[in-house]
Amino acid sequence: MIVNIVAEVVKALNAGVLDSNKALHENILDLLEENPFVWRKDYTIAVSKDNTKTKVANLMVCNKLDETPQTFKVKREKDYWRKLEAREDYEAVVECSLFPLDTPLCHIETIGRNIMRSRKEVPAVGLKGFVWVVRIAPQENLDTLFSLYFKEDFITLNQDEAKYYIGWTKSLKTLDMRHFICDPTAKAPKTEVVEFSTEVEPDPNMQKG
């Protein structure tokens, strides 16, 4: 199933010119052809207990249409986050990152690890499929990074103005993060990052668990 989701992402990226005024995941959503999945944009996966912060996935891919509002609960009373509760329709999360020319590899790895870790912390997400889409300049190369984390489960798309790396796993929980290229405890350089926001304003329409 996860490879079918990846195939839809690839078709979308090859379907036309991206709108530079939109985020990468919004472009993918706009360019998707008819497919068997339901794609939910900016999907909340965790809410702080005081309702002041939320964690949002770029795209939640579902295997059927279910209009039931998502619900959240804490595992332990002292936990800070109320996390998304599991549902049968959840299939995978697709996260997108765009990096400008000459972004240090260590910085890209740090962003990727932050995305993976924060999603792993939500069991309803960590047990499902995961796809990371990265857009970089055509001359850049992330083979070492993607082969470390995704082994053979990644592809590249080469276009005139950009190169895309797409890595995936059937279950995010199985992704090995014990090894790394750069020390994750080292201070990251100040570099512009887009397409990843760990915390945003909460949706007032969300249902509490």
Can you give the pTM of this predicted structure? 0.88
Check if the beta carbon of residue 175 is closer than 8 Å to that of residue 149: yes
Express each pLDDT in 104-155 by its tens digit: 999 999 999 999 999 999 999 999 999 999 999 999 999 999 999 999 999 9
Instruction: Check residue 206 and give its pLDDT.
Output: 53
Length of the chain: 209
Beta bridge partners of 72: 84
Instruction: Check residue 192 and give its pLDDT.
Output: 45
Check if the beta carbon of residue 133 is closer than 8 Å to that of residue 24: yes
Number of H helices, E strands in the chain: 5, 8
Domain residues of the chain, as ranges? 2-174
